[in-house]
Chains A and B, each alone.
Chain A
Amino acid sequence: MPGERENLDSDRPTKKAKVSAAINGASKDKDMDNPYLAHMYAPSIALSASQDLFAGLTRHQTTTAQAQQAEDGPLNPFTGTQLSRQYFDILRKRRDLPVHAQRDEFLRLYQENQILVFVGETGSGKTTQIPQFVLYDEKPFETGKKVACTQPRRVAAMSVAKRVADEMDVVLGEEVGYNIRFENNTSSKTLLQYMTDGMLLREAMNDPNLSRYSCIILDEAHERTLATDILMGLLKEVARRRPDLKIVVMSATLDAQKFQRYFGVKENDYNAPLLAVPGRTHPVEIFYTPEPERDYVEAALRTVLQIHGSEPEGDILLFLTGEEEIEEACKRLRAEGDEMQREYDTGPLKVYALYGTLPPNQQQRIFDPAPPPARSGGKPGRKVVVSTNIAETSLTIDGIVYVVDPGFSKQKVYNPRIRVESLLVSPISKASAQQRAGRAGRTRPGKCFRLYTEDAFKKELIDQTYPEILRSNLASTVLELKKLGIDDLVHFDFMDPPAPETMMRALEELNYLACLDDEGDLTTLGRMASEYPLDPALAVMLISSSEFQCASEILSITALLSVPQIFVRPPHKRKEADAAKAQFAHSDGDHLTMLNVYHAFKSQESGASQRWCLDNFLSFRSLTSADNVRNQLKVIMEKQEIDMKTTPFNDRNYYNNIRQALCAGFFMQVAKKMSTGKTYKTVKDNQDVLLHPSTVLGQESEWVLYNEFVLTTKNYIRTVTSVKPEWLMDIAPNYYDIDSFEKGEIKTALVRTAEKIARKAKLDKRTQK
């Protein structure tokens, strides 16, 4: 099937020209503008370090003794300034860390090998210390090449960078910095850079050899995020091309053999060298329930309160599955905690929520110390953190002594057959359960309360959590790989290869979206789409929005779709919330309703918008982050010189244009109403679905486009907008090729539409004559 999407715009030649002009313009001085390539033009790292302090140290030949001498000061070897007292305090503690005992061994293995697998248990100090060990050996100010350390999560990258900056007695953002999506806190002086794995992957797209770096440390590799997995495959190839690049893969679990084998040479049966450092953890007693719990949330809350009432001082970490559940649990815990304090004179209970979509400054609040006793001599206060599995590995909260583990987490699953990616609550793995328990033993011996039986632990939990690459839609990954120059997807060295069906689906989707041509090569559109940190469908929608003269609106909608739900619907105020939503409702669907909300939000005075959101049952947090995302995306669009001109609001095609632009990205997510009732059927995949009750759309719409397929006992489509079949056939003729449809209601309707279009064309011709 022909895949080029440009050619379907044949009836709009002017617009097409505009797009291609934009592309040419973008590619011309792209390199100069590209932040990822800035190093090619900028002078190499400014040398503020006085090299005398490193006298006698030869790169890749340093020893622990030499490095320690440099560390001991009195001048900071990296800045040449006097070291502070705080530095020496921390230094003393650093020398106590388990990794320090094996610094010699690490340096030897590091200097002898290109790739090193490092297994350090939690509490070993690997995340903060190993990059510094590397720094003293790499001497980046000599080579002008940096050391990078990747983290799977933004918060971790930020907080670790902050810690390491303190340890090295430098200002965060200068010698030590971090680079996360939407926030780059590095400078030309930066020697050590913490970053998310996704950011490094994005850099690799523009700089395939990662020539800015002399050493790359992949931390928390055991978490096996999508980006880490791709990076690992990529780094294996880069290592072959660049013998001077050193790679350290750090992991916390015991399946190090898998990493060793992966980074070894298969033919020679050679495994990558391994260095293992024990962690300094305290014993954690594990408790199981004697019987399965009927309600794990209820049981979790009771357990927390019971601990608060009867156990000695120490903070509690409770794992729950999602934002809603966590917020609800926090509310109940706060109420119960207050009551306990009044009635039974327990210490004050401070409850914090923690989940990924929480803004970073609120995430930082969990590090606040536990509250003091309510009165002098009273019982000490206690901190409870209710978290998703974000607190399982990366985030370490000091003072946690009790862990409550119901055994569930929300995990992403992708079904390539019906093309549904959903977050489902499912049992965790044994490895996860042990990680969670380990969180209790960071500061002193702790206890872990598992809300399931020991039998369930042994029989119902899988050994290891599946890596993300097996659980995701790979469309954007394949696009990234293509952009990275990897064409042979079959033989790309995945640590865990994704299921062939998933790969097929991804390729097929990209072909329909015209990001890949029929030979499987990246098209111009595909290259542009890969610049966006978005799902390809959204990126394509954004790029083609200028054809429909609604780029600004589509940009807003894209931003709104990539943040958490903007409508708030508290359980006890459902009616009011629905009424508030009705004010913004647009009869054509939810996308346009969201746009109305955004416009109203932007028209508020900046001081009053938070109050306004509260009054209108909107999430201020989501809307502000949508605003932020919008700005980021706008920068990319402007760089690609996409025409931001929009249709005037009073134009009667204002909303129609937007709806058509939506079709350009989401023509594969369309459902048609069945004649038999209120059910809809998804086009091509033939799944029976219902409109989600939250929609503002009435039941009369024949064809709807949806953003999300929600998998529950009933299949719902959420965030829907009504569209016209004529548009779909016009915008995506390859997908809506009538011959490819099975006999049935949808095909009949499409045939009828085609006839209608033909008749109209004939009529137009006649009138023209």
Chain B
Amino acid sequence: MGLAGPSKKRKISHDPNNTKWTRSAGFGHKMLLSQGWSPGTILGPDPNNPHHTAASQVGIKVMLKDDTLGLGCRGNQEDTCTGLGDLQSLLGRLNGKTDESVRSEEDTRRKMWIEGRYGMRFVRGETLESTWVTRELKKDAEEEGKETSTEDAEEEGEDEAESSEGKKEKSKKEKKRKDRDSKKKKRKSSDSDDDEDANSSSSSEQDRESDKAKRKADKALRKAEKQAKKERKEAKRLRKDEKRRAKAEKKALKSAIAASSAPSSTASTPPAMPSAEPEPLPKLDKKSKSLPNSLHGSGTSTPVNGRQALRSKWIAQKRMAVMDAKALNEILMIKAA
């Protein structure tokens, strides 16, 4: 509580817990002793009953509550920052995260809330089934939370394609995660392709297509890697190509900023890259052959000379910091949003 806060002065008496009475053995003490009780033990014929609680020994301790603070709410909540998720997304955007990834993050978060006119927000927890029959609580509350409730869809409706796809997702929630993943990939790739075939195909078609795409992607990935290697070698040898590369980097930056699909957080960290998100690459590959090159340039330290090297290092560091939520929180001194 700051200086400006109301001061709560409270006089505490000399012996607020009346230990004097506890120490003096009165009539009650004598009576219990005469009936075979010994100090320190609990009453009853079955003192070792595991069902007994500590309250049988020392009574119940209760905190005095004289305000309307909600459960779990500490009085000094002004000091802690909560709900800075919005700020984080803004910073993310400023620091080169694509609108798309930011928006999808926001969406997942918002979908966890059921928002209404009165501003009460709720996160879905477990579902209480008939407790006797099954005590299985649905652990994956998050997955549940992702589902869009009908009112949600009504309220949001920012991106029609998105929400329609969300609905589809809901209808097939029991399908394997693989499917969903591939769909996500699909979404991302389709975005980069200027929404060519994002929502036209039916679900089954989509599945088949995505499978195909996956196979294709794997192939393409290997190809791309090879190519990238080659190109790196080439770049090492031929400094003439500087012009071309500068152009490519410009393009890459532009693409990163202008929302035409860019590295997500996992993509930027080298070790996770191949396994986690292999599929944006081939598509990109099609579009601009030099892009993978620039990606590598930013993530790992490919020897680049002079001003360029410094600059790319700087960008890489910054990007790393922005991608890492923990680091960002530390920088901004945000406590768990």
Please give the residue numbers on chain A whose beta carbons come within 8 Å of chain B beta carbons, in ascending order: 1, 3, 119, 121, 254-255, 257-258, 261-262, 266, 276-281, 283-299, 302-303, 305-306, 309-310, 406-408, 411, 413-418, 424-427, 434, 437-438, 441, 448-457, 459-460, 466, 470-471, 488-494, 496-508, 511, 518, 520, 679, 681, 684-688, 711-714, 742
Contacts and interface: CB of A to CB of B under 8 A. Distances in A.
A286 B127 contact: yes
A387 B45 CA distance: 39
A429 to B, nearest CB: 12
Contacts of A424: 62, 64-65
B64 A713 contact: yes
Given A417-B19, A498-B56, A508-B28, A298 B121 contact: no
B73 A504 contact: no
B58 A451 contact: no
A679 B12 CA distance: 12
Contacts of A460: 71-72
B122 A449 contact: yes
A295 B32 contact: no
A425 B8 contact: no
Contact of A496 (B14, B36, B52, B133): B52
B65 to A, nearest CB: 5
A296 B83 contact: no
B127 A742 contact: no
Contacts of B132: 119, 121, 254, 276-279
Interface in B12-66: 12-22, 26-29, 31-32, 34-37, 39, 41-47, 49, 51-53, 55-60, 62-66
Contact of B131 (A289, A434, A457, A713): A434
A119 B118 CA distance: 40
A497 B42 contact: yes
Taking each of B56, B125, B130, which has the highest tally of chain A beta carbons within 10 Å of its own beta carbon? B130
Given A500-B41, A686-B20, A742-B20, 9 more contacts: A296-B69, A309-B117, A407-B71, A426-B63, A460-B72, A499-B57, A500-B32, A504-B29, A511-B27
Given A289-B121, A306-B117, A470-B59, A281 B70 contact: no
B131 A438 contact: yes
B8 A686 contact: no
Contacts of A492: 43-45
Those 4 A-B pairs whose CB atoms lie nearest each other, nearest first: A504-B28, A456-B72, A293-B70, A292-B73
Contacts of B123: 287-290, 453-454
B27 A452 contact: no
Interface stretch (B108-116, B165-173, B238-246, B307-315): B108-116
B119 interface: yes
Contacts of B22: 417, 501
Nearest to B82: A291
B129 interface: yes
A1 B47 CA distance: 31
B68 interface: yes
A699 to B, nearest CB: 17
Nearest to A308: B118
25 contacts: A121-B132, A281-B131, A287-B122, A288-B123, A289-B122, A291-B83, A292-B69, A294-B73, A310-B117, A407-B70, A424-B65, A452-B70, A456-B71, A466-B53, A490-B35, A491-B35, A492-B44, A496-B51, A496-B56, A499-B42, A501-B59, A507-B27, A508-B26, A681-B13, A686-B20
Interface of B: 8, 10-22, 26-29, 31-32, 34-37, 39, 41-47, 49, 51-53, 55-60, 62-66, 68-74, 77, 82-83, 112-114, 116-133, 141, 151
Nearest to B114: A287
A479 to B, nearest CB: 14
A278 B120 contact: no
A1 B43 CA distance: 24
A439 to B, nearest CB: 10
Given A289-B123, A415-B59, A490-B43, A283 B129 contact: yes
A177 B4 CA distance: 63
A12 to B, nearest CB: 25
Nearest to A489: B35
A498 B113 CA distance: 45
A233 to B, nearest CB: 9
A281 B130 contact: yes
B46 A493 contact: yes
Contact of A297 (B42, B43, B68, B74): B68
A372 B124 CA distance: 31
B75 to A, nearest CB: 10
Contacts of B127: 283-286
Contact of A285 (B26, B121, B124): B124
B56 A470 contact: yes
B122 A454 contact: no
B25 to A, nearest CB: 9
Contacts of A426: 62-63, 65
Nearest to A259: B51
A303 B114 CA distance: 11
Contact of A466 (B39, B51, B55, B69): B55
A418 B43 CA distance: 21
A471 B60 contact: yes
A571 to B, nearest CB: 15
Contacts of A684: 21
B118 A305 contact: yes
Nearest to A496: B56
B71 A298 contact: no
Contacts of A254: 131-132
Contact of A292 (B28, B47, B77): B77
A503 B32 contact: yes
A408 B62 CA distance: 13
B29 to A, nearest CB: 5
Contacts of A448: 128
B69 A295 contact: yes
B28 A418 contact: no
A589 B102 CA distance: 69
Contacts of A276: 132
Given A266-B46, A281-B130, A408-B71, A302 B32 contact: no
A233 B122 CA distance: 44
A257 B51 CA distance: 9
Given A470-B56, A505-B28, A494 B71 contact: no
A224 B130 CA distance: 23
Given A290-B112, A441-B128, A687-B16, A679 B64 contact: no
A434 to B, nearest CB: 7
Nearest to B17: A417
A287 B124 contact: yes
A413 B72 CA distance: 21
Contacts of B114: 287
B66 A713 contact: yes
Nearest to A506: B28
A119 B131 CA distance: 12
A309 B72 contact: no
Contacts of B16: 418, 687
B60 A427 contact: no
B276 to A, nearest CB: 28
Contacts of A290: 112-113, 121-123
Given A290-B123, A413-B60, A310 B130 contact: no
Nearest to A261: B51
Nearest to A296: B70
A466 B59 CA distance: 10
Contact of B64 (A288, A411, A711): A711
A489 B65 contact: no
Contacts of A408: 65, 71
Contacts of A685: 18, 21
Nearest to A744: B14
A688 B13 contact: yes
B130 to A, nearest CB: 5
